[in-house]
Amino acid sequence: MADNNTAKTETSGNVLHMQDVTMQFGGVVAVNGLTLDVNEGEIVALIGPNGAGKTTAFNCVTGIYEPTYGKVAFKGETILSNTPKGKMEKMYLGEVTPTSIPIVKNTPDVITKKGIARTFQNIRLFGQLTVFENVLIAKHMRAKQNVFSATLRLNRAEEARMRAETMALLKEQHLDHLKDEIASSLPYGLQRRLEIARALATEPSLLLLDEPAAGMNPQETQELTDFIKEIRETYHLSIFMIEHHMDLVMQISDRIYVLDFGKLIAQGTPDEIQNNQKVIDAYLGVSDDVED
Ligand SMILES: Nc1ncnc2c1ncn2[C@@H]1O[C@H](COP(=O)(O)OP(=O)(O)OP(=O)(O)O)[C@@H](O)[C@H]1O
């Protein structure tokens, strides 16, 4: 694989490029040679049966995991890149044969500052803080540019600016009337909305949503579908989303990637994916005893 740290990806307007990303835990290859792209302004879904490796793939983009092998580039800059070393060189079970590529490491906070934000499968708000405080903390995260400003108190003007921006964001998200509510006291659907607002506070250009419709009823899911389309336009976002609600996925995705047992088994438009036999088999589970 030709590579260097600053190489631009081939696709113009490419926001996220994952190349041969492999994540191995002991003897389990959770993600196996995953290559995919998210281009500017796209909504791209990553789907697949339970345990297919979707969340692990997200964790490899946001720096929670250091991939065992492969590269992740954001707007043409390699943000994570690794090749098996030491014991893993012998244990490696990935499908792509590793080559010697430069090692690039970045922690999740650095990756967030570069412009990638995410939400989690299990909502991770600061439950005991207010709606306002949850978003303000994310603003602070964006503002802290280095260790000095992170350890010194911010000046009053900057604090006031961040508070004003937090309020403006809550208004845009129609959450301003709830600003003093304790986050954990909100209904589930609103907690999800708040988690997205908090992600937006870091001013991302790529937003990763991990099962945003989990636990929602059909009406809430439809509202969320409209909401995701709306924030893509308002904030000029590219969106990469894991989701099990197929109605939502088929309605809003420009393109879909399908994982099964860590490997990409299909990619295409919603129409192409719906009619793909490999995808249908993966979801239904092909079994030898179905004829009985
Ligand atoms: N930290 C870890 N240590 C060991 N194995 C792990 C770890 N994280 C994930 N796995 C394994 O990797 C595989 C993929 O898990 P992952 O959670 O990424 O799947 P998923 O597609 O997101 O599933 P779901 O749709 O149920 O959320 C599973 O077999 C899982 O048990």
Ligand 1: atom nearest CA of 49 is 25
Distance 55 CA to ligand 1 centre (A): 7
**213, pLDDT greater than 80:** yes
Residue 256, burial from CB neighbour count under 10 angstroms (0-12, 13-18, 19+): buried
Ligand 1: atom nearest CA of 56 is 18
The β-bridge relationship of strands 263-268 and 255-260 is: antiparallel
Q: What lines the ligand 1 site, CB under 6 Å?
A: 25, 28, 30, 48, 50-56, 121
Ligand 1: atom nearest CA of 23 is 12
153: pLDDT confidence band, cut at 50, 70 and 90? low
Closest CA to 134 of 75, 184, 71, 95: 184
Alpha-carbon gap, residue 265 to 257, rounded angstroms: 8
| pLDDT at 291 (0 to 100) | 36
Tell me the average pLDDT across 122-131.
88
Strand partners, 71: 19, 81
The residue ranges of every structural domain in the chain are 1-107+238-292
Q: What are phi and psi of 42, to 5 degrees?
A: -85, 155
| pLDDT at 283 (0 to 100) | 81
DSSP assignment string, 196-231: HHHHHTT--SEEEEESTTTT--HHHHHHHHHHHHHH
For ligand 1, atom 8, the nearest C-alpha belongs to 56
Complex ipTM, two decimals? 0.96
Distance 31 CA to ligand 1 centre (A): 9
Name which CATH class applies to 1-107+238-292.
alpha beta
The length of the chain in residues reads: 292
For ligand 1, atom 11, the nearest C-alpha belongs to 30
pLDDT digits (tens, 9 = 90+) for 33-56: 999 999 999 999 999 999 999 999
pLDDT digits (tens, 9 = 90+) for 86-114: 889 999 999 999 999 999 999 999 999 99
